[in-house]
Amino acid sequence: MLGLLSREDVELIAELSRCPPVTHPNICRQSHLNKYSSISGLCNNRQNPLMGVASTPLVRWLPAEYEDGGREPKGWNQGRLHNGFQLPPPWEVSKKIMSSSSKLKDDVYSHMLVEWGQYISHDMTMTPQIKGGAGLWSDVDCLKTCQNVHPCFPIETGDSIKAARGCMPFFRSNAACAIHRGSDIRQALQRQQMNGITSFIDASTVYGHSPRLQSSLRDLSGLDGKLAVNDQFRDHTGRTYPPSVANLPSACRQGPHVERVECFRAGDSRLNEGLPLICLHTLWLREHNRIAEALKHINSHWSPETIYQETRKIVGALHQIITMRDYVPKIIGEESFEQYIGPYRGYDPTTDPSTSNVFATAAFRFGHGTISPILQRLNESFQMHEHFPHLRISSTFFSPWRIVKEGGIEPTLRGAIGTPASTASANMLLTEEVTERLIVLNNSQFMDLASLNLQRGRDHGLPGYNDWRSFCGLERIKTLEGLKEVVRDYRVAEKILQLYTNPDNIDVWLGGLVEDTLPGSRTGPLNACLIGKQMKAFRDGDRFWWEADGMFSQQQKDELLNGSLSRIICDNSNIREVHTDSFRFGKFPNDYLSCDHMPSINLEAWREEKSRDLVQCGTPRQIKNGDFILSSTSGKLVALYSCYHGFKLKGAAAIICEENRWSNHPPQCTGT
C-alpha cells in the first residue's frame, strides 16, 4: 500500500502526522523530481527517499547517553553520579563560567558574519519542542512546575527571587518517529530528536519545508511566480516587507504610540527573533520577487510554476554559495576547510546529508558566543543614526515594529556590515543580554541562553566533550594541565574542572566553545571538525547541490559565482555602498564600493527559446488551482501538472506533445 503512495500523499501524511511513512523508492521516479527539489526534501536521495527530509530524526554520530539507557536525560535523577560525580547544574555553569558583561571586537570580520550564522542555521535545523502536557505525556504545565516530569525538564536556578519558584521552565524536544534506516538496534530503541525542517541548504528559510507552508507563502493569484508580501506596510521607497502571520493578534511586542505591527511570516517561523534576522528574510523575499520578475520578462512563455521553481533554484544556489564559499572558511579556517570538506567531487548518493544531533545541539551553537549586547543602527555615512540610536538587543527581540516604524531595514543592515563582529573568548563567552534578559514568546520570565543550551544537550543525551574529541581524532583531556593547554585561559580551565571534577563530564557545547580558536578561524579544533564534517555531508549528499551535474549550465554556474550577499543588499535595499564581502569588516568609505561596480548575475543566462515542439503544440492550458512545468522525456516535450496544496489531481498528470498537438486534455484540481 505505502509503495503506491504518491510523493504528494507522503508529504501530506508527514505534515499531518509529523511522521513520514516508510517510503518506497518508486515514488522518486516521477520525472519532475529530476528537475526541482521537493519542498520537504523527499526523494533528494532516490534510493533512501527520507534522507534529509523534514520531520525525520537528527542523526547520531555517536550513540546517545541517557540515564536510563533509553530516554531520561543526563541530570534527570537527582544524586545520579556520572564518572563518580554529579553533573553541575546548567544555571551554575552559566553563572560561573559563561556569562559576561563585555565582549571583544573582531578587527577582521563584520557583525554580518554572526547574523548569517544564525540565519543559515535556521535553514538546516529546527528541533521542535513539546508544548504543553495534556494528551501527550501528562497534564503537567511546564511553565508552573519545578519537577522533572515528562515533558518538563526545568532548569534549577537556586535563585527564587530572580527566577520565580527557583527554576526556569524547559520543554523537552519532541521525540522523533522511528525511521528504519540502517541496522543499529540500540539507536532504534533510544529516544531520538527530530529535525523539523529539511537538512539541505535549500533556502527553506524563504520557501518553507512543507507543501502547506510553501503554498501559504506564495502569491498564487498573481500568476507570476512571486512570493506574497505584506499588504499593510512598505518602506518609504515602496519596497516590500514579509506578510503578517495568519493568526492575529500575534505575540510580537509592540512599540509605544505607533500603529500595531504583527509578527512577520516566512519559510522559517523564527524570523522575528531579532532585527537583523528580519532584515535578511526581507532581503531574500525581495530577491525572489526581483528574479521572478526578470525571468518572466526574459521567458514570457514560462508558466508561473516554472518561474517560481527556477527562481527558487537560483535563490537556493545563492544560499549554498554564500555559505560554503564566503562563510564556512572564515568560521573553521582554510586549513580545516581543506581537511574536512575539500574540493567538490560531485553528488554522492551514499552520503547521508541529514543534520547530526551534535551539530544542531552543540557545535553550530558556537555562534551564541559571538552575540553582541548592542545592536548598532547606522546612517548613510555609517555613523550612529541620528533618529534611531543603538539598542540593547534585549529590547529588539520579537519587535518587527522597529523595522517598519524606525527607518526600514537599512539602519540595521548598515549596523551589521559596518561594525566589527563580537568574538568569544574563554573568559567572555555569552553576553548578559542573553543570559540574564533573553525573551521567549509566551513566557513572561527572562531566560538564560547558556542554561538552555546546556540543558538541551543533556535532554538529547549528547555524549560528553571528551568523547567528541576522540570522535574527531583529538587527544582526550585527562588533567587540568591538558585542559589549560586547549583553553589557553588557566582561570577558566580551573573553574570548569572545579565544577565538573571529571573532564569526561564536561558538556560538549561548553567544551567546544572554550577551546582556543585555530589560526584564521573563529572556532577551536573540536567545533571546526564537527562543523566541517557536517558541511561536507550537506554538500556531497545533496542531489540538487548547485555544482552537481545537470543542475545548471556552465554559463549559469559562472553567473551564479558573481552572486554575493553584498549584491543582494544592493539589489534589495536602499544601501548604495557596500564592502565587496559583507562578512569582512572595513572602514567607510575607503573600504567600500559603489553598488554600481559590484559584480552581478546576468539572468540572460537563463533565457530559453521556445522549442520547436512548443511552437507547434502551443503553450499547454492553464488549470485552476494548479499549474504545469515543461520537461523532456525520451525526447518528447511533456507538460507535468500538479495541484496547489489542498487540491487533488484528477486526470493524467502528464500530457505529451505529439503530432503537433497535446495528447490529452489537462487534468483538473479538485478540493480535498
Q: Which tens digit of pLDDT belongs to each residue from 146-164? A: 999 999 999 999 764 444 5
Task: Give the range among 264-273, 358-367, 389-398, 437-446 with minimum mean pLDDT.
Answer: 437-446
Three-class DSSP category at 630: strand
Global pTM reads 0.95
**Choice between 604 and 78, residue whose per-residue pLDDT is larger:** 604
C-alpha 369/C-alpha 364 separation (Å) is: 11
Query: Would 634 be classed as within a structural domain?
Result: yes
- What pLDDT is recorded for position 14? 66
- What pLDDT is recorded for position 100? 74
- What pLDDT is recorded for position 98? 86
- DSSP annotation string for 122-190: HHH----B----TTTT-S--TTT--S-BTTB--EE-S-TTTSGGGEE--BPBPBPP----SS-HHHHHS
Three-class DSSP category at 281: helix
**Choice between 617 and 138, residue whose per-residue pLDDT is larger:** 617
Q: Helix crossing, 410-418 with 565-572: angle to 10°?
A: 160
- What pLDDT is recorded for position 633? 79
Number of domains in the chain: 1
pLDDT of 103 strictly over 80:
no
By the 8 A CB rule, do 302 and 541 touch? Answer: no
pLDDT of 133 strictly over 80:
no
Q: What mean pLDDT is reported for the chain? A: 92
C-alpha 490/C-alpha 12 separation (Å) is: 54
CB atoms within 10 A of CB 206: 26
Q: What integer is the mean pLDDT of 189-198?
A: 94
Confidence bin at 272 (pLDDT 50/70/90): very high
Task: Give the range among 127-131, 255-259, 309-313, 533-537 with minimum mean pLDDT.
Answer: 127-131
Q: Chain-centre distance of CA 401, in angstroms? A: 23
pLDDT of 260 strictly over 80:
yes
- Percentage of the chain lying above the pLDDT 90 cut: 81
Q: What integer is the mean pLDDT of 290-300?
A: 97
C-alpha 456/C-alpha 94 separation (Å) is: 14
- What pLDDT is recorded for position 161? 47
- What pLDDT is recorded for position 138? 63
- Please, what is the Cα angle at 645 between 643 and 649, to 5 degrees? 30
pLDDT of 2 strictly over 70:
no
pLDDT of 361 strictly over 90:
yes
Task: Give the range among 290-299, 407-416, 630-639 with minimum mean pLDDT.
Answer: 630-639
Query: Would 88 be classed as within a structural domain?
Result: no
- Residue 656's domain spans which residues? 612-671
- What pLDDT is recorded for position 7? 66
- From 348, 314, 286, 337, select the one nearest 571 (Cα to Cα): 286
Start-to-end C-alpha separation, the chain: 20
Q: What integer is the mean pLDDT of 43-65?
A: 95
- What pLDDT is recorded for position 513? 96
By the 8 A CB rule, do 630 and 616 touch? Answer: no
pLDDT of 615 strictly over 60:
yes
pLDDT of 72 strictly over 80:
yes
Peptide bond preceding 151 in cis form (omega within 30 of 0): yes
Q: List, in sequence order, every beta strand (DSSP E) within 53-119.
A: 56-57, 99-100, 104-110
pLDDT of 470 strictly over 50:
yes
Query: Would 364 be classed as within a structural domain?
Result: no
Query: Would 72 be classed as within a structural domain?
Result: no
- What pLDDT is recorded for position 445? 83
Range ranked top by mean pLDDT from 176-180, 425-429, 547-551: 547-551
- What pLDDT is recorded for position 335? 98
Q: What integer is the mean pLDDT of 257-261?
A: 94
- What pLDDT is recorded for position 1? 37
- What pLDDT is recorded for position 427? 80
pLDDT of 244 strictly over 50:
yes
Confidence bin at 134 (pLDDT 50/70/90): very low
**Long-range CB contacts (within 8 A, 24+) of 446-451:** 447/168, 448/91, 448/94, 448/99, 448/155, 448/168, 449/368, 450/90, 450/93, 450/94, 450/98, 450/99, 450/368, 451/90, 451/91, 451/93, 451/94, 451/155, 451/168
Query: Would 361 be classed as within a structural domain?
Result: no
Three-class DSSP category at 520: coil
* Burial (CB count within 10 angstroms: exposed 0-12, middle 13-18, buried 19+), residue 157: buried
Query: Cell digits for 3?
Result: 509503495
pLDDT of 183 strictly over 60:
no
Instruction: Find the catalytic residue in 122, 209, 460, 645.
Output: 122
H or E element, residue 662: strand 661-662
- What pLDDT is recorded for position 3? 46
**CATH code of the domain containing 640:** 2.10.70.10
* Burial (CB count within 10 angstroms: exposed 0-12, middle 13-18, buried 19+), residue 393: buried
Confidence bin at 185 (pLDDT 50/70/90): low
- What pLDDT is recorded for position 104? 77
Query: Would 186 be classed as within a structural domain?
Result: no
C-alpha 117/C-alpha 523 separation (Å) is: 13
Query: Would 605 be classed as within a structural domain?
Result: no
- What pLDDT is recorded for position 27? 82
**Long-range CB contacts (within 8 A, 24+) of 22-28:** 22/180, 23/49, 23/50, 24/49, 25/49, 27/3
Query: Would 617 be classed as within a structural domain?
Result: yes
**Do the annotations mark residue 180 as ligand-binding?**
no
122: annotated active-site residue: yes
